[in-house]
Structure 1
Amino acid sequence: MLKNILSAAALAVLVATPSIAQDEEAAPAPRPASAYATIDYNLQDDRDNILFLDLSNGKRVAIRLMPDWAPEHVERIKTLARQGFYDGVIFHRVIEGFMAQTGDPTGTGQGGSELPDLQAEFNPMPHVRGTVSMARAQAEDSANSQFFIVFYPRFSLDKKYTNFGRVIAGMDAVDAIHRGEPPRDPTRIVQASIASDNKPAPTPQEIAASNPASITATDLTAPAGE
């Protein structure tokens, strides 16, 4: 089942009308102050809701998970991380100026976990730079394991995709993720872990071993309809 964050038609609109997207980012509609929740940036607090992504580019991303926004989605991400589901998974769809998508063990954009799909938990939190949101197919209740990290504000996604967290450290690591659909040399998650589990970070040797030298775009199937 296709797990892209946008239907082909919706993505075509964004690509075909870049001026609209740029205007939206430069001058978003006014929002009530309550829409911008304050996120605690202290990595020592509430460690059960901090997700670490150790990437094959040698950098670490820290994501503040927000169960108040999307409790079932946060629980799913934590469950899969603790199962090691995300370890070794690539960022299979990375669009410059938009987002980086991961969470599919097949690397095609069409896979997911064996757990049931989730009911949507759309909320008013805006898709700003560093937002972490759940990918889905066209059906609203089709999110499963895939998620994406936003490079630049995309308020057109608000209340259409479940926003469940935000990058609080290591956005430079996100910016360094290789672009492509799929990338010729994809960046991958070497290890995903929850901070409170105190799992050791991967060694340089483990990171090096996670970077196969022969992966090319022809080795992977691009998401259908793109």
Structure 2
Amino acid sequence: MRKLAAAFALMASPVLVTPALATGLQIEVAGEGANGTITIDLLEDLAPNHAARLAELAAEGAYNGVVFHRVIEGFMAQTGDVEHGKEGGNLRRAGTGGSDKPDLAAEFTSEPFKRGIVGMARSQNPNSANSQFFIMFDDGEFLNNQYTVVGRVTGGMDIVDQIKLGTGGNGAVVGAPDVMKTVTVTE
């Protein structure tokens, strides 16, 4: 009888569950240029706060329907403006917003900006990254130690290469930009 009571007591006690670290993102892209899946490995060991932010926004569905608003051939494709970058909205301010969460302190490392690296976009203030990120088309060592490396593309780099290029000022996409239809967290 005591064993049974002890078993029930154990079952009734609160169980602490430690959430698993998010290890990546799966991005379904659609548009005039790219159509397919991009898989990103988040580098929690290099940028734990930035990786957690991307995973948090993805889990909330904040990235679903967000466009690639700035795409520069031979450089990078930028997205992640959950405030002003939603498909179907007025995209004139895309790239100027963030999320309702506070900006993040820089997590600069010696990890080089190579093809397929995912970096956090920011303003001139190094501690202003929020929700926007970019994927490198090519090497960009001039960004080293000035922007946070948050991930790396592990699948679908061919899809990244097809993202509709910007033809406007500073790489702004003119017309209908390609969009992240859904962004999910992977483990």
The structure 2 residue matched to 1:178, chosen from 161, 164, 169, is 164
Which residue of the partner structure matches residue 22 of structure 2? 48
Measure how far apart 1:50 and its partner are. Answer: 1.7
Q: Does residue 1:122 correspond to 2:108, yes or no?
A: yes
2:78 partner letter: Q
Which residue of the partner structure matches residue 24 of structure 1? none
Preserved CA contact (<8 Å) 2:164 2:173:
no
Per-residue CA distance 1:95-126 (angstroms, 9 max, x = gap) = 00100000013132101100000000000000
Give the 5 Å matches for 1:14-93.
Answer: 48-56=22-30, 57-93=34-70
The secondary structure found in structure 1 opposite 2:69 is: strand
1:192 partner letter: V
Which residue of the partner structure matches residue 28 of structure 1? none
Between structures 1 and 2, the one with greater strand share: 2
Q: Does residue 1:166 correspond to 2:170, yes or no?
A: no
Of the two, which has the highest radius of gyration?
A: 2
Between structures 1 and 2, the one with greater helix share: 1
Measure how far apart 1:47 and its partner are. Answer: 8.4
Question: What TM-score, normalized to structure 1?
Answer: 0.65
Give the 5 Å matches for 1:168-207.
Answer: 168-180=154-166, 181-196=172-187
1:155 partner letter: E
* Structural RMSD (CA): 1.3
Which stretches in structure 1 are left out of the alignment for 5+ residues?
1-45, 197-226
Measure how far apart 1:68 and its partner are. Answer: 0.5
Measure, in 1, the Cα distance between the counterparts of 2:21 and 2:49: 18
Runs of 4+ in 1 over 4 A off after TM superposition: none
The structure 1 residue matched to 2:117, chosen from 113, 131, 134, is 131
Which residue of the partner structure matches residue 74 of structure 2? 97
Kindly tell me: are residues 176 and 80 of structure 1, through their superposed partners in 2, closer, same or farther at Cα, counting changes over 3 Å?
A: same
